[in-house]
Amino acid sequence: MIRASVTVVVGMMLIIPALVSAEHPLEFYTPKFQLTQRLTEGFDASSEVTPTTTKKLPGRAMLLSAVIPGMGQFYAGAKLRGAIFLALEAAGWTTFAVYQTQGKNKENEYQDFADDHWSREDYWDAVEEIAVANDWNGGPVQNASWEVLLDYLPINFTHELPSSNTQQYYEMIGKYLTQFGFGWSDAIGDIDSTQYYDGGFASNHPGRYNDLRYDSNQLLDHATVALEVVLVNHVISALDAAFLVRRQNKRAVETSLNVEEKLFNDQPVAMAGIKIRW
């Protein structure tokens, strides 16, 4: 980048005419000359005052926006951009909270529905009846090894029922109805002739249950998307803040003050120069 530089010289020589005696042009008026000398005291020849700069730190801006989107932009002085990122942050978290709450409420609803209308006892009774019909004589099927029990069950029995009501449990009882449909309270049909649950033998419970699960999953998916938007907002805001400060630094104006001793008529005089760089 090309930087321009302008030096403005402010000479203490502007007091020189007053230092010269009107009666004796080549003689100096002592009191004012001593004042000039005092102005030069404390300055070495060609001394320079520390430059004044408006530069800011890109790393700090990035860190601020990485923690709270928009803060890096405020640090850089871009208040409107900062407000936009901050508003997106608030909107993202609000959206996440709303969908997450609704999704969890709907999840509790379908789990309560399953607890009321699906029975482990009914399911295992049906499994045992089917296994016995296929020459099973190993005792209660609940205590048997699932791998061994599979030899006495139809091919549609593919998943072992979890021992507790886990998320997998709630998924399977609604998803694999040809196996777990026997546990629904409104399941009807002749096991001997059917050997597995057919959707046509149930009325409304599995359908209602799956509708509730679908609604819950949709709401939780929306919450996940909102959370992803929040994370992306953090990343974009952090990068934007860093580049914004970097661009501003390239356009920053630097000023510095140089004070030097100069000889005028063989006498030291303080000379000040202001340097402006942009």
What pTM, to 2 d.p., does this model score? 0.66
Q: Is residue 63 part of a domain?
A: no
pLDDT at position 177, please? Answer: 85
Q: Is residue 9 part of a domain?
A: yes
Q: Is residue 239 part of a domain?
A: no
pLDDT at position 138, please? Answer: 84
Does position 99 have pLDDT exceeding 90, yes or no? yes
Q: Are residues 209 and 78 in the same domain?
A: yes
Q: Are residues 91 and 166 in the same domain?
A: yes
What phi-psi label fits residue 135: left (phi over 0), alpha (psi between -120 and 50 degrees) or beta?
Answer: left
Cα Rg of the chain, angstroms = 42
Does position 199 have pLDDT exceeding 80, yes or no? no
Percent of the chain's residues with pLDDT above 90? 51
pLDDT at position 202, please? Answer: 45
pLDDT at position 53, please? Answer: 54
Mean pLDDT calculated for residue range 89-115: 97
When comparing pLDDT for 138 and 230, which is higher?
A: 230
Domain count within the chain: 2
Task: Look up the domain containing 104 and give its range.
Answer: 71-231
Q: Is residue 246 part of a domain?
A: no
Q: Is residue 242 part of a domain?
A: no
Q: How far is residue 207's CA from residue 188's CA, in Å, rounded to a whole number? A: 15
pLDDT (tens digit per residue) in 200-240: 444 578 889 999 999 999 999 999 999 999 999 999 999 99
Q: Are residues 83 and 40 in the same domain?
A: no
Q: Is residue 194 part of a domain?
A: yes
Q: How far is residue 82's CA from residue 198's CA, in Å, rounded to a whole number? A: 59
Torsion of CA 177, 179, 185, 190, to 10 degrees: 110
Least confident among 1-15, 26-40, 191-205, 255-269: 1-15
Residues in the chain, how many? Answer: 278
Q: Are residues 92 and 197 in the same domain?
A: yes
Q: Is residue 100 part of a domain?
A: yes
Q: How far is residue 78's CA from residue 70's CA, in Å, rounded to a whole number? A: 9
Q: Which of 170, 160, 161, 164 is nearest to 217 (CA)?
A: 170
Q: Are residues 226 and 261 in the same domain?
A: no
Q: How far is residue 260's CA from residue 6's CA, in Å, rounded to a whole number? A: 17
Mean pLDDT calculated for residue range 137-160: 91
Q: Are residues 117 and 208 in the same domain?
A: yes
Q: Are residues 40 and 81 in the same domain?
A: no
Mean pLDDT calculated for residue range 83-106: 97
Local structure of 28: helix, strand or coil: strand
Burial zone of 157 (CB within 10 Å; 0-12 exposed, 13-18 middle, 19+ buried): buried
Does position 257 have pLDDT exceeding 70, yes or no? no
Q: Are residues 76 and 165 in the same domain?
A: yes
pLDDT at position 207, please? Answer: 86
As given in the structure block, the two tokens for residue 205 are 């419970």
Return the axis-axis angle of helices 205-250 and 167-175, rounded to nearest 10°: 130
SS3 sequence of 125-183:
HHHHHHHHHCCCCCCCHHHCCHHHHHHHCCCCCCCCCCCCCCHHHHHHHHHCHHHHHHH
As given in the structure block, the two tokens for residue 14 are 């502007």
Q: Are residues 263 and 207 in the same domain?
A: no
pLDDT (tens digit per residue) in 153-196: 988 899 999 999 999 999 999 998 888 988 988 876 555 544 44
Q: Is residue 236 part of a domain?
A: no
Please, what is the average pLDDT of the chain?
79
Q: How far is residue 189's CA from residue 167's CA, in Å, rounded to a whole number? A: 28
Q: Are residues 86 and 206 in the same domain?
A: yes
Q: Are residues 103 and 223 in the same domain?
A: yes
Q: How far is residue 173's CA from residue 170's CA, in Å, rounded to a whole number? A: 6
Contact between residue 184 and residue 116 where contact means Cβ atoms under 8 Å apart = no
pLDDT at position 15, please? Answer: 41
Q: Are residues 20 and 91 in the same domain?
A: no
pLDDT at position 31, please? Answer: 54
When comparing pLDDT for 160 and 45, which is higher?
A: 160
Q: How far is residue 260's CA from residue 12's CA, in Å, rounded to a whole number? A: 10
pLDDT at position 19, please? Answer: 43
Q: Which of 189, 178, 176, 165 is nearest to 114 (CA)?
A: 165
Contact between residue 218 and residue 99 where contact means Cβ atoms under 8 Å apart = no
Contact between residue 37 and residue 217 where contact means Cβ atoms under 8 Å apart = no
